[in-house]
Amino acid sequence: MSTFDEREKGFEAKFSRDQEHDFRAIARRNKLLGLWAAEQMGMSGDEAASYALEVVDADFQRPGDDDVFEKVHGDLNAKGIEASEHLVRKRMEELLQEAAKQIDSE
């Protein structure tokens, strides 16, 4: 096998690991976001855990983060909780960083 082939395989393996890491971080972020939103809505225990899974599932509706944002933002507003678009998106960003750190430490 040539050096070029070895480097190509190495890049492909790294790309695959990075993609898996990103997927896991986003899924973890969505769970953390769901738990945060559940707390804002006064949920706890099994109810909060169930809601967090709904948020994770919402991410599979469309590519990107808009489906998750719309679910959480809509649910918060439906419960009469003042949650601006900026607040929810900022929280999503913060929780993505936290999720990535958690995964990196595992």
User: Within a domain: residue 17?
Assistant: no
User: Within a domain: residue 76?
Assistant: yes
**Each residue's pLDDT tens digit in the chain (106 positions)?**
677 677 777 777 777 787 898 999 999 999 999 999 999 999 999 999 999 999 999 999 888 899 999 999 999 999 999 999 999 999 999 999 999 999 999 8
Contact 59, 26 (CB under 8 A): yes
User: Within a domain: residue 61?
Assistant: yes
Domain count for the chain, please give it: 1
pLDDT of residue 1: 66
pTM: 0.86
Question: In angstroms, rounded to a whole number, what is the distance separating the alpha carbons of residues 39 and 28?
Answer: 17
User: Within a domain: residue 41?
Assistant: yes
User: Within a domain: residue 85?
Assistant: yes
pLDDT of residue 83: 92
User: Within a domain: residue 6?
Assistant: no
- CATH code at 47? 1.10.790.20
pLDDT of residue 70: 96
User: Within a domain: residue 19?
Assistant: no
User: Within a domain: residue 16?
Assistant: no
pLDDT of residue 4: 67
Q: Can you give the three-state secondary structure of the chain, one letter per residue?
A: CCHHHHHHHHHHHHHHHHHHHHHHHHHHHHHHHHHHHHHHCCCCHHHHHHHHHHHHHHCCCCCCCHHHHHHHHHHHHHCCCCCCHHHHHHHHHHHHHHHHHHHHHC
Expressed as residue numbers, the domain containing 33 is: 24-105
Token digits for 79? 């419960």
